[in-house]
Amino acid sequence: MAIRHYWSMAAAAIGFRLVLVLFGGDLHLASRPEVSTPLTSLRRLAEGYWLKQAAMSPYSGSMYHGSPLLLSVLGPLTNNRADGRHAHIYCSPWHSLIFVAVDFLAAMLIRATGNRLQMARNRSLSSLDLTKEVNHSVNLSSGDVASLIYLWNPWAIVTCVGSCTSPIENLMVVIMIYGACSRLAPLAAFGYVMATHLSLYPAILIVPVILLLGYGPDAPPPKVFLLKASNGSKQDRLRVAPQFSWKPVAHFIFWLFIWSCYVLLLSSIILKKVGGFREMIEKTYGFILTVKDLSPNIGVLWYFFAEVFDFFRSFFLMVFNMNIIFLVLPLAIRLKHRPCFLAFVYTAIVAILKSYPSAGDSALYLGLLGLFANELAEMQFTFFLFFGYIGVSLLSPVMHNLWIWRGTGNANFYFATGLAYTCLQTVLIVESVSSMIKHDRKLRLLVRS
């Protein structure tokens, strides 16, 4: 069931962004630690571009740690001025117009992905003769729901207006998921290479991408199809149950190699005479893994490593970075029949455990969560999670102001909001996975009955 007045609501969301871009200069969102991080700050990118224009390595200081490709795309749009002694770097608010277009494109790709998932869901229910039993309760257009959640999410809006590169990173992840869901191997490979290049953590999404290319969009567990065809012949079972195809996977690997070589070649050309490829790796991926910048953010790693003894720092770096990898295989085994949902879970886990999280990470996985509005309709604690997210969003800037500017609080005040935020995200992941498993179990019981 499509949402009425969808295009009116989408246009209103874009218009609201444009109003904030043109008249919201006093909000100073670019300086908020919840919005900009050392990896996504456009002001840091402007300084890196200034260093490059001065025939120096953009990584020579301690400011820029992003991709050299962003320097070439967004750097020329920054304004550099000097008063004789100091160089002042200004980020034009017109950068945000680019991010508005990027957000709109990401929302449209999320909508297209949801439509493909909806068609695959309807085909699966039809083959199981469960269309009436399941759709009589809820049958929303998941693509419309997900795209509107992304467009109207306050965190997506502030990251779009707040002069940071998070919308571009989110777009690359969405391109990857859409390409894999549509079995467009070149597009999926492009999104994967760019997302991994801009931020290391999307590398774990290789698992759901391969499953999407091999099995196709999400479907009920194979056991449900086998149970339905248990009275038929072996050929009927093989025809009904989804089968893995290696051809699109091999095509994806080929394009993965092509795009990787192309990105590395472009990076080498951009950094020629102003830095080396090795320095780029150390200042980007190395910076992400070693958590050298302990400026406050909405995560928990900055506070932990500010308190831990240097003797134990290497050990805890290994533990925190391996935490993400340890969760990949168990979740892939349990949710291999729902690779798109698995991509959402991985994205949410990365938003919790990455070294420099921002509100843009939450905007992405909350948008992807809307793709499963039908399957997760009976998810528990939605009231608690909704108002918990609102509470954290309101308390975080207050606690930061009390600590940094007014001096009436301390770091524990701000860290408490980050800890609460992490707990809310953990509850969301656990409840969404549990609800999806319950939904699959319900399908199995309906087929059996």
Mean pLDDT calculated for residue range 298-314: 88
pLDDT at 241: 59
pLDDT at 271: 87
pLDDT at 85: 39
Is residue 392 a contact partner of residue 357, using CB atoms and an 8 Å limit?
A: no
Q: What is the C-alpha separation between 160 and 15, in angstroms, rounded?
A: 13
pLDDT at 81: 47
Is residue 358 a contact partner of residue 297, using CB atoms and an 8 Å limit?
A: yes
Q: What is the DSSP letter of 401?
A: I
Choice between 409 and 18, residue whose per-residue pLDDT is larger: 18
The mean predicted confidence, pLDDT, of the chain is 86
Reply yes or no on whether the pLDDT at 131 is more than 80.
no
pLDDT per position as a tens digit, 421-432: 999 999 999 999
Of 191, 161, 204, 196, whose CA–CA distance to 255 is shortest? Answer: 191
- Rounded (10°) CA dihedral 166, 172, 177, 181: 150
Mean pLDDT calculated for residue range 42-65: 86
Is residue 139 a contact partner of residue 1, using CB atoms and an 8 Å limit?
A: yes
20 three-class SS = helix
Mean pLDDT calculated for residue range 321-350: 93
Is residue 102 a contact partner of residue 171, using CB atoms and an 8 Å limit?
A: yes
CB-based contacts of 78, cutoff 8 Å, min separation 6: 42, 45, 46, 49, 50, 89, 90, 91, 92, 95
- Rounded (10°) CA dihedral 211, 214, 220, 224: -120
Instruction: Compute how many other C-beta atoms are within 10 angstroms of the C-beta atom of residue 26.
Output: 5
Reply yes or no on whether the pLDDT at 138 is more than 80.
no
pLDDT at 25: 64
pLDDT at 380: 87
85 three-class SS = coil
pLDDT at 29: 80
pLDDT per position as a tens digit, 228-286: 776 554 554 444 556 788 999 999 999 999 999 999 999 988 888 777 788 889 889 99
> Could you tell me the maximum CA-CA distance found in the chain, to the nearest angstrom?
85
Q: What is the C-alpha separation between 367 and 195, in angstroms, rounded?
A: 17
Reply yes or no on whether the pLDDT at 155 is more than 60.
yes
pLDDT band at 73 (very low <50, low <70, confident <90, very high): confident
Q: What is the DSSP letter of 223?
A: H
Lowest mean pLDDT among 144-148, 165-169, 197-201, 274-278: 274-278
The 10 Å CB-count burial string (b at 16+, else e) for 231-240 is eeeeeeeeeb
Of 179, 204, 205, 182, whose CA–CA distance to 190 is shortest? Answer: 179
Lowest mean pLDDT among 21-35, 58-72, 143-157: 21-35
Share of the chain above pLDDT 90, in %: 48
Lowest mean pLDDT among 21-30, 48-57, 148-157, 200-209: 21-30
pLDDT per position as a tens digit, 199-226: 999 999 999 999 999 988 888 888 887 7
Reply yes or no on whether the pLDDT at 149 is more than 90.
yes
83 three-class SS = coil
Task: Give CA separation, 222 vs 226, 242, 334, in Å.
Answer: 6, 7, 12
Of 349, 299, 355, whose CA–CA distance to 65 is shortest? Answer: 355
Choice between 193 and 57, residue whose per-residue pLDDT is larger: 193
